[in-house]
Protein backbone atom coordinates (compact mmCIF):
# COMPACT_ATOMS: atom_id res chain seq x y z
CA UNK A 1 0.00 0.00 0.00
CA UNK A 2 1.42 3.35 -1.01
CA UNK A 3 1.41 6.35 1.33
CA UNK A 4 -1.45 8.13 -0.47
CA UNK A 5 -3.72 5.07 -0.32
CA UNK A 6 -2.87 4.67 3.36
CA UNK A 7 -3.98 8.26 4.04
CA UNK A 8 -7.27 7.66 2.22
CA UNK A 9 -7.84 4.38 4.08
CA UNK A 10 -7.11 5.95 7.48
CA UNK A 11 -9.31 9.00 6.83
CA UNK A 12 -12.21 6.84 5.63
CA UNK A 13 -12.04 4.71 8.78
CA UNK A 14 -11.88 7.86 10.92
CA UNK A 15 -15.07 9.27 9.34
CA UNK A 16 -16.90 5.94 9.50
CA UNK A 17 -16.26 5.75 13.24
CA UNK A 18 -18.30 8.97 13.52
CA UNK A 19 -21.06 8.02 11.04
CA UNK A 20 -21.42 8.55 7.29
CA UNK A 21 -18.63 9.06 4.78
CA UNK A 22 -19.07 10.36 1.23
CA UNK A 23 -16.49 8.96 -1.16
CA UNK A 24 -15.87 10.79 -4.45
CA UNK A 25 -14.14 8.74 -7.10
CA UNK A 26 -13.36 8.48 -10.80
CA UNK A 27 -15.38 5.47 -11.96
CA UNK A 28 -13.74 5.56 -15.41
CA UNK A 29 -10.56 3.86 -14.20
CA UNK A 30 -10.35 0.26 -15.45
CA UNK A 31 -9.88 -1.24 -11.97
CA UNK A 32 -13.15 0.31 -10.70
CA UNK A 33 -16.10 -2.09 -10.87
CA UNK A 34 -19.47 -0.29 -10.86
CA UNK A 35 -22.62 -0.65 -12.99
CA UNK A 36 -22.15 0.15 -16.69
CA UNK A 37 -24.36 3.27 -16.49
CA UNK A 38 -21.95 4.76 -13.89
CA UNK A 39 -18.71 3.73 -15.57
CA UNK A 40 -18.23 7.04 -17.44
CA UNK A 41 -18.66 9.15 -14.29
CA UNK A 42 -15.52 11.05 -13.25
CA UNK A 43 -17.27 12.20 -10.08
CA UNK A 44 -19.21 9.27 -8.67
CA UNK A 45 -20.28 10.13 -5.11
CA UNK A 46 -21.18 7.24 -2.80
CA UNK A 47 -22.18 7.34 0.86
CA UNK A 48 -20.92 4.62 3.19
CA UNK A 49 -21.82 3.72 6.76
CA UNK A 50 -20.69 0.85 8.96
CA UNK A 51 -24.35 0.00 9.63
CA UNK A 52 -25.05 -1.03 6.03
CA UNK A 53 -27.36 -4.02 5.74
CA UNK A 54 -25.45 -5.29 2.72
CA UNK A 55 -21.86 -6.44 2.59
CA UNK A 56 -19.20 -3.77 3.16
CA UNK A 57 -15.51 -4.54 3.37
CA UNK A 58 -12.91 -1.82 3.76
CA UNK A 59 -9.38 -3.04 3.26
CA UNK A 60 -6.04 -1.39 2.61
CA UNK A 61 -6.57 -2.04 -1.13
CA UNK A 62 -9.99 -0.42 -1.43
CA UNK A 63 -13.69 -0.52 -0.68
CA UNK A 64 -15.67 -3.62 -1.59
CA UNK A 65 -19.41 -3.24 -1.09
CA UNK A 66 -22.76 -4.33 -2.44
CA UNK A 67 -24.57 -1.10 -3.27
CA UNK A 68 -27.98 -0.32 -4.74
CA UNK A 69 -28.15 1.51 -8.07
CA UNK A 70 -31.67 2.22 -9.34
CA UNK A 71 -32.96 -0.31 -6.81
CA UNK A 72 -30.67 -3.11 -8.00
CA UNK A 73 -27.82 -4.54 -5.96
CA UNK A 74 -24.36 -4.46 -7.49
CA UNK A 75 -21.09 -5.73 -6.01
CA UNK A 76 -18.65 -2.81 -6.36
CA UNK A 77 -14.88 -2.75 -6.21
CA UNK A 78 -13.45 0.71 -5.52
CA UNK A 79 -9.64 0.97 -5.23
CA UNK A 80 -8.17 3.96 -3.43
CA UNK A 81 -6.35 5.02 -6.61
CA UNK A 82 -9.76 6.12 -7.98
CA UNK A 83 -10.75 8.05 -4.82
CA UNK A 84 -10.07 11.79 -4.98
CA UNK A 85 -12.10 13.04 -1.97
CA UNK A 86 -13.72 11.77 1.21
CA UNK A 87 -15.89 13.86 3.49
CA UNK A 88 -18.63 13.81 6.10
CA UNK A 89 -21.84 14.81 4.28
CA UNK A 90 -23.43 16.24 7.43
CA UNK A 91 -20.55 18.30 8.75
CA UNK A 92 -19.02 19.17 5.36
CA UNK A 93 -15.53 18.47 6.63
CA UNK A 94 -13.26 16.22 4.66
CA UNK A 95 -10.17 15.76 2.58
CA UNK A 96 -9.45 16.27 -1.12
CA UNK A 97 -6.37 14.73 -2.71
CA UNK A 98 -5.53 17.10 -5.58
CA UNK A 99 -3.12 14.65 -7.17
CA UNK A 100 -6.00 12.14 -7.53
CA UNK A 101 -8.53 14.53 -9.12
CA UNK A 102 -9.11 13.61 -12.78
CA UNK A 103 -7.28 16.06 -15.05
CA UNK A 104 -10.32 16.67 -17.23
CA UNK A 105 -12.58 17.58 -14.31
CA UNK A 106 -13.10 21.18 -13.21
CA UNK A 107 -13.66 21.12 -9.44
CA UNK A 108 -15.42 24.50 -9.50
CA UNK A 109 -18.04 23.07 -11.91
CA UNK A 110 -18.45 20.10 -9.57
CA UNK A 111 -19.35 22.37 -6.65
CA UNK A 112 -22.06 24.00 -8.76
CA UNK A 113 -23.48 20.58 -9.72
CA UNK A 114 -23.44 19.16 -6.19
CA UNK A 115 -24.75 22.19 -4.30
CA UNK A 116 -26.52 24.61 -6.64
CA UNK A 117 -29.13 25.52 -4.00
CA UNK A 118 -26.44 26.98 -1.74
CA UNK A 119 -24.90 29.08 -4.47
CA UNK A 120 -28.03 30.47 -6.08
CA UNK A 121 -30.29 32.97 -4.33
CA UNK A 122 -33.72 31.82 -3.25
CA UNK A 123 -36.43 33.68 -5.13
CA UNK A 124 -39.77 34.45 -3.53
CA UNK A 125 -42.90 35.49 -5.41
CA UNK A 126 -44.01 39.09 -4.82
CA UNK A 127 -47.59 40.36 -5.20
CA UNK A 128 -47.80 43.76 -6.90
CA UNK A 129 -51.01 44.78 -5.08
CA UNK A 130 -49.28 44.87 -1.71
CA UNK A 131 -51.95 42.60 -0.20
CA UNK A 132 -51.02 39.14 1.00
CA UNK A 133 -52.14 36.21 -1.10
CA UNK A 134 -55.37 34.51 -0.01
CA UNK A 135 -53.61 31.30 0.90
CA UNK A 136 -50.81 33.01 2.80
CA UNK A 137 -50.54 32.02 6.46
CA UNK A 138 -49.66 34.47 9.20
CA UNK A 139 -45.98 34.20 10.01
CA UNK A 140 -46.50 33.86 13.76
CA UNK A 141 -48.70 30.76 13.61
CA UNK A 142 -47.97 27.45 11.99
CA UNK A 143 -50.52 24.82 11.12
CA UNK A 144 -49.93 22.02 13.58
CA UNK A 145 -53.22 20.21 13.14
CA UNK A 146 -51.38 17.02 12.21
CA UNK A 147 -49.62 16.92 15.59
CA UNK A 148 -51.09 15.43 18.71
CA UNK A 149 -50.07 15.33 22.35
CA UNK A 150 -48.79 11.99 23.61
CA UNK A 151 -48.70 11.39 27.36
For the cut 50, the answer to whether the pLDDT of residue 120 exceeds it is no
pLDDT averaged over every residue in the chain: 78
What pLDDT is recorded for position 119?
Answer: 40
Q: Which of 6, 4, 12, 25 is nearest to 88 (CA)?
A: 12
Which residue segments constitute the domains of the chain, with CATH numbers given?
A: 3-119 (2.30.30.220)
What pLDDT is recorded for position 146?
Answer: 53
What pLDDT is recorded for position 103?
Answer: 86
What pLDDT is recorded for position 117?
Answer: 46
Averaged pLDDT for residues 111-133: 43
Residues 47-103 have pLDDT tens digits of 999 988 888 999 999 999 999 999 899 999 999 999 999 999 887 789 999 988 988
Averaged pLDDT for residues 136-141: 50
What pLDDT is recorded for position 140?
Answer: 52
Our measurement of the distance from residue 33's CA atom to the centroid of its chain's CA atoms, rounded to an integer in Å, reads 19
Contact 23, 17 (CB under 8 A): no
Q: Predicted confidence band at 147 (pLDDT cuts at 50, 70, 90)?
A: low
Amino acid sequence: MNALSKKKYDFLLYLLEEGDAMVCLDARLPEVDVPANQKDNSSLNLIFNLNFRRSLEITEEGIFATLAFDGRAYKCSLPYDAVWAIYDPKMKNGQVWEESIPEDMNLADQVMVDQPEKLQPKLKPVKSSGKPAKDAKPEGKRDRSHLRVIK
